[in-house]
Amino acid sequence: MREIRLRYGADVLQGTEFVQQLNRIEEFELLNTLGRSDANDAVTVMVRLRLADNAVVEDIEDIEWLSIDEVVRTEPTVDGEALYAIVRFTHPLVTIPLEVGDAIISPGTRIGRRGAEVILRGSSDGCQALVAAFRLWNDRCTVAVVRSGDADHDADAGLTPQQVEAARLAWSMGYFDVPRGCALSDIAKAAGVSNATISGHLREVDRIAHRRLLDWIGE
């Protein structure tokens, strides 16, 4: 598994079409991809976002490539209210990966007024194809290789991709906070799976986390 991160500065984004998104959304973070259109010209994603000052949810409909299907929940943060929403995204930079079978734009990808970080994961060839597509759109970016190949990283700890994404989604939604920031059913809804499925994924995550902790402390 290769991981590459592309970073665009705020000044670069302000000179692109994304300025219309930044005028309405302070920050936008990808949490999960839920589905795609039959024609591969749109993706449905779960996101966490904070609106810009004086913006309202309805303003998002004025962004050419975004439409909100549902606001799942809201939560207060030190930076303002965050919305967890199911969004339909049609921008070509997001739909290009649908044509690349062995690399994806991963959860944790962010775009906001402070800049953008795009996380790409997949095979070396797939990641390079996505990097080339982004650089063709705008080459004023930095490229950082986080994982260089399949054999040199053990971070997934034997979890399936579905379990890894369930863990990331649960973490980002505050499921592991004290007190919990969301219910199990909220995560299941965001992931587009049943409560039983998400519960099974998180049980396995918990089991492996405890096993790794015991290995670390030498028990």
pLDDT tens string 145-170: 876 554 344 445 567 778 888 888 88
Same domain, 137 and 185: no
Same domain, 20 and 113: yes
The structure tokens listed for 98 are 């649908």
Same domain, 123 and 67: yes
Answer whether residue 89 is part of any domain.
yes
Containing structural domain, residue 59: 2-147
Same domain, 180 and 96: no
Share of residues in the chain with pLDDT > 90 (%): 36
Task: Give the per-residue pLDDT at 153.
Answer: 42
Answer yes or no: are the C-beta atoms of 2 and 18 closer than 8 Å. Answer: no
What would the mean pLDDT of 196-212 be, rounded to a whole number? 82
Same domain, 86 and 16: yes
What would the mean pLDDT of 101-118 be, rounded to a whole number? 90
Same domain, 10 and 59: yes
Answer whether residue 140 is part of any domain.
yes
Kindly report the pTM of this predicted structure.
0.68
Same domain, 87 and 14: yes
Share of residues in the chain with pLDDT > 70 (%): 90
Same domain, 192 and 94: no
**Listed residues 91, 121, 147: the one ending a domain:** 147
Same domain, 7 and 101: yes
**Listed residues 85, 114, 147: the one ending a domain:** 147
Q: Is the pLDDT of residue 217 over 70?
A: no
Q: Tell me which residue of 86, 147, 19 sits closest to 8, measured CA to CA.
A: 19
Answer whether residue 156 is part of any domain.
no
Q: Is the pLDDT of residue 219 over 70?
A: no
Answer whether residue 154 is part of any domain.
no
Domain count, the chain: 2
Answer whether residue 152 is part of any domain.
no
Distance of CA 59 to the CA centre of its chain: 22
Sign of CA dihedral 133, 3, 208, 160: positive
Same domain, 128 and 212: no
Q: Tell me which residue of 95, 21, 29 sits closest to 63, measured CA to CA.
A: 21
Same domain, 208 and 134: no
Q: How many residues in total does the chain contain?
A: 219
How does the average pLDDT of the chain come out, rounded?
84
Structure confidence by residue, pLDDT tens digits, 180-200:
888 999 888 888 888 888 998
> Which residues neighbour 37 within 8 Å (Cβ) at sequence distance 6 or greater?
43
Distances in Å between the Cα of 193 and the Cα atoms of 5, 7, 103, 139 are 28, 32, 22, 38
What would the mean pLDDT of 133-139 be, rounded to a whole number? 92
| DSSP assignment string, the chain | -EEEEEEE-HHHHHTSTTHHHHTTEEEEEEEEEEEE-TTSS-EEEEEEEEEPTT--GGGGGGSTTEEEEEEEEEEEETTEEEEEEEEEE--HHHHGGGG-TTEEEPTT-EEETTEEEEEEEE-HHHHHHHHHHHHHH----EEEEEE--SSS--TTTT--HHHHHHHHHHHHTTTTSSS-SS-HHHHHHHHTS-HHHHHHHHHHHHHHHHHHHHHHHT-
Greater confidence (200 vs 179) lies with: 200
Answer whether residue 155 is part of any domain.
no
Task: Give the per-residue pLDDT at 149.
Answer: 53
Same domain, 167 and 94: no
**Listed residues 120, 147, 174: the one ending a domain:** 147
Q: What angle do CA 116, 120, 126 make, to 5 degrees?
A: 140
Answer whether residue 153 is part of any domain.
no
Structure confidence by residue, pLDDT tens digits, 14-73:
999 999 999 999 999 998 888 887 777 888 999 999 999 989 999 999 999 999 999 988
